[in-house]
Amino acid sequence: MRAPLSVPFSLALAIAVLTGSIASAAEDPYTLTIKDHRFEPTEITIPADKKVALMVKNLDPTPEEFESVELRREKIVPGGTEAIVYLGPLKPGR
């Protein structure tokens, strides 16, 4: 029979697990800006085999469409707003 964990140890373990989860979820998203109907930057490098967030900021006054058949993502971003598109995990490549 195993001895029960002490309350301080259990609490410390729970805090460590939660802190790690929060840190990994709080990573800054990659940013893609739409201005004058053009994407900036024109290319973004993201890590392979990892799910990432892509923040799409539409600085134009009109709605813009973020669409990629290869990534299987489509999102309408109203003018003057931003949206998050989740990508991956993707295999290495271009």
Question: Is the Cβ–Cβ distance between 46 and 71 less than 8 Å?
Answer: no
Position with higher pLDDT, 40 vs 94: 40
Chain segment 34-66, per-residue pLDDT in tens: 999 999 999 999 999 999 999 999 999 999 999
Query: Whole-angstrom Cα distance, residue 75 to residue 83?
Result: 8
Question: Is the Cβ–Cβ distance between 35 and 56 less than 8 Å?
Answer: no
Q: How confident is the model at residue 74 (pLDDT cuts 50, 70, 90)?
A: very high
CATH code 3.40.718.10 for 28-87: no
The alpha carbon of 4 is separated from its chain's Cα centroid by a whole number of angstroms, namely 39
- pTM exceeds cut of 0.75: no
Round the average pLDDT of the chain to a whole number and report it. 81
Question: Is the Cβ–Cβ distance between 79 and 62 less than 8 Å?
Answer: yes
* DSSP classification of residue 20: H
Looking at the chain, the number of H-run helices and the number of E-run strands are: 1, 6
